[in-house]
Chain A
Amino acid sequence: MSVRLDAISRRNAAGGLILDDVSLEIETGEFVALVGPSGAGKTSLLRVIAGLDAQSGGTVEIDGRDMSALPARARGLGFVFQNYALFGHLSVAANIAFGLRVLPRSLRPSRSEIASRVDELLDLMQLPGRGRDFPAQLSGGQRQRVALARALATRPPVLLLDEPFGALDPMVRKSIRTWLRDLHDKLGLTTILVTHDQQEALEIADRLAVMADGQLVQAGAPDLLEARPATSFVMDFLGDTVRIEGAVRGGVFEPEPAFALPVAVNVSDGPATLMIRPHDIDLVTGPAVLTPLATHGGFARYRVGDAVTVHVPVHVADRVPVTGAALDLGRGHLFRSGKSINTI
C-alpha cells in the first residue's frame, strides 16, 4: 500500500524542530531506506508514520486514507524495533500470535488458525520448532526474526523497520539483509527501513531517502543519487569522496591544487567545490609525485601530492603514469554553498 507523507514536521518537548517539512511518497511494493547520520530524524519520521509519535504538522496518508489522527494501534502497520522489544514473559509462539490474539472477538481467528499461522511464520523465518522457547533462549539473529514474524502475523500492508540489523554481527547482517529483501518481494510488502549504514541501504532498497538535520535532502534510486547528488552532503554520505576547492572563470573550473587539470563547465563564475569518487579520477601525466599505497578490494590506491587519494582498478593500474601525475576530474560533481551546480 502506498504511503504519502505531506509536509511532516515535529518538535520535541524542548521545542526543537526534529522533523522539518518532510514530504515523501512511497509506492505500493516499494522498499525505501531512510538514511542519514545519527540525529537526522530518520527514527522520528518512522515513529510518526507508525503513529507512535504525533507530528506537529503535516499529514500521513496510507493508501489514500488520512491516518494523521489515528493512534498506532489503529493503523495496522508492522513495526520492528531496534532492540526487537520481544515480550520476555511470552514464548516465541505467543509473541508471534500477540497481534492476532488482541483482535476483537469478531475478527479474531480461531485457536487452530492462529496456531497454524504461527507455524507458517516460524517456517518462513527459518525457526521451525522454536515456538515453545522463550526469547531469552534465542540468539540475536533469531530474536530479530521473531520480532519480524510478530510484526507480520496480522499481514500488515506496510512494514516499518527501525535499524533492524544494528545489534547483529557483520556476517549475520549481510545474510539477513538479502533474506529480508527476498521476503519483501515474496510477500509483496511495502517496506520502510531506517539505517545509518549507507552500504546496507544501497544494497537492499529500491530508493533511498537521505535525511539530515530533520530535513529530507534527496530521495531517489541509488543510481540517481550517485549520478545527480543534490547536495555535497548526499555525495559525501553515499561513499568516499575527494573534495577539490576552486573557482569557475569563463566556463572553466580552475582547481586550487596545481596537479589537478581545469575542467570545462557550464555554470556562472564564482567559487565552487568539486567532489569526485576516488575511483572516478583519471590519472594523466603531470607534475605531482605519486605515492603507491596498499591495494584493497580490487583497487590500487595512490596518494597524489599530499592530500588526495586516488583509487585505480587493478586491471588498468599499469596505465598509471610513473614519472608524475595530474588529476583529470572530468567525472566529478560541482557544488556551490553545498548545493549542486552541475553539469560538467
Chain B
Amino acid sequence: MVSRTAAGHLPGFRLALASTLVWLGLIVAFPLAALIARPFAGGLHPFMHALFDPRLLAALRVSFGSAFVAAAIDLPLGLLLAWAVVRAKVPGHRLMDALVELPLALPTSVSGITLATLYGPRGWFGAPLAHLGLKVAFAPAGIVVALMFVGIPFVVRSIAPVLANAPVELEEAAQTLGASRSQTLWRVVLPPLLPAGLTAFGLAFARAVGEYGSVIFIAGNQPFRSEIAPLLVVIRLQEFDYAGGAAVGLILLLASLVILLALGALRRRFHHWIAA
C-alpha cells in the first residue's frame, strides 16, 4: 500500500532526507559533539576549574548582558526601520532596504574598526559624547553599540514581511470602533508582531552572543569589565589551555540553546493567533 504521508508525495524524499542528515551530522552535530567532549578530555577537574573562573563568569556576564541590551534596543529601532521601509515608504526606502543588510556583508573587523574610530575619543560621535562625559568606545557601552550594529538586520528582516502583510482593514476596523491612534497602535498593530518580534530578538541576541570580530576593536577588552566570552576562548587557546577554551565554548553554546528554546516556547504560545 502506498503511504499517503508527506514522504509519499515528495519524490526521493527518503534519499534526500538521509543525505541531508548525514551532511548535517558532519557539519553541525559532529563538531558540536567534539565541543561537548573536549572540555572533559583532561577529566572533570580542569573543566570545573575553568567553569568557576571568576574571569570567565565576568566575561559571560558581559557577553550575555550586552547581547540582551543590544537586542532589546535593536527591537524598537528595527521596528521603526521596518515601518519606514514597508509601510511609510519614506523617500529613499529602497536604498534603506538595501542598506539594512549591509552589516551582514561587511567584514566584522571593518565594522569594528569603523565603529571604534567613530566613537573613539576623537571620532565624529565620540568627541561630542566625550564632551558630555560619555565614553562609548573602549568601554562596555561600545560593546553594545557594536552588537546593535550586527543585530539590527535580523530584526528588520524578521518584522518587515509580517508588517507588510498585516491587513490595513484591521487598523480601519479599530478606527471605526472608536480607537485613537495610540490605541490602534498598541492594541491592533503591535500585538500581531509579537511572534515575529520574539524571533527577531532571538536572532539578534544569538548573533550578538557569538559576535567576536567587531566587538574586540571597540570593547577595550579589559578583563572583568569589557572582555567578552568569545575573546576569552581565543585568549585561552593562546595560553594552550585547550580544555579551558572548550569549556567557555560549551557554556556559551548551552546558555544560548536554553535561551533560544525558551524564546521558541514563548513563540508557540501564539499559535492560535494565525490571522483570521
Task: Enumerate chain A interface residues (CB-CB to B < 8 A).
Answer: 50-52, 71-79, 81, 83-90, 98-99, 102-103, 134-138, 143, 150-151, 154
Contacts and interface: CB of A to CB of B under 8 A. Distances in A.
Given A51-B176, A81-B173, 16 more contacts: A52-B175, A73-B180, A75-B176, A79-B173, A81-B169, A83-B167, A86-B173, A87-B187, A88-B274, A89-B192, A90-B191, A98-B179, A98-B187, A102-B177, A102-B183, A143-B276
A71 B177 contact: no
Contact of A50 (B170, B176, B187, B272): B176
Nearest to B167: A85
A134 B272 CA distance: 7
A77 B276 CA distance: 23
B178 A103 contact: yes
Contact of A150 (B167, B177, B188, B276): B177
A76 B178 contact: yes
Contact of B178 (A86, A88, A99, A135): A99
- Secondary structure class of chain B's binding surface, majority of residues: helix
B18 to A, nearest CB: 36
A71 B174 CA distance: 12
B175 A136 contact: no
B1 interface: no
Contact of A81 (B172, B191, B275): B172
B176 A87 contact: no
B177 A136 contact: no
B30 interface: no
B276 A88 contact: yes
A81 B187 CA distance: 19
B102 to A, nearest CB: 33
Interface of B: 167, 169-170, 172-180, 183, 187-188, 191-192, 194, 270, 272-276
A89 to B, nearest CB: 5
Contacts of A102: 174, 177-180, 183, 187
B176 A78 contact: yes
Contacts of A150: 173, 177
Contacts of A138: 276
Contacts of A154: 177-178
A72 B273 contact: no
Contact of A85 (B173, B194, B273): B173
Contacts of A79: 172-173, 176
Given A102-B180, A102-B187, A73 B272 contact: no
Nearest to A107: B178
A224 to B, nearest CB: 32
A99 B177 CA distance: 5
Contacts of A134: 272-273, 276
A72 B175 contact: yes
Which residue of B172, B180, B274 has the most chain A CB atoms within 10 A of its CB atom?
Answer: B172
A71 to B, nearest CB: 7
A73 B179 contact: yes
A90 B189 CA distance: 12
A135 B273 CA distance: 8
Contact of B272 (A51, A76, A87, A137): A137
Query: Which one of B177, B191, B270, B272 has the greatest number of beta carbons of chain A within 10 Å?
Result: B177
B206 to A, nearest CB: 25
B244 to A, nearest CB: 47
B177 A85 contact: no
A78 B178 CA distance: 10
Contacts of B173: 79, 81, 85-87, 150
B195 to A, nearest CB: 9
A202 to B, nearest CB: 27
Contacts of A75: 176
A77 B176 contact: yes
The 7 A-B pairs at the shortest CB distance, nearest first, are namely A135-B276, A85-B169, A99-B177, A79-B176, A85-B173, A72-B175, A102-B179
Contacts of B188: 87
A50 B192 CA distance: 25
A134 B153 CA distance: 33
Contact of A73 (B176, B194, B270): B176
B15 to A, nearest CB: 36
A137 B271 CA distance: 11
B167 A52 contact: no
A136 B178 contact: no
Contacts of B272: 134, 136-137
B176 A52 contact: yes
A51 to B, nearest CB: 8
A210 B80 CA distance: 44
A83 B169 contact: yes
Nearest to B271: A136
A138 B188 CA distance: 20
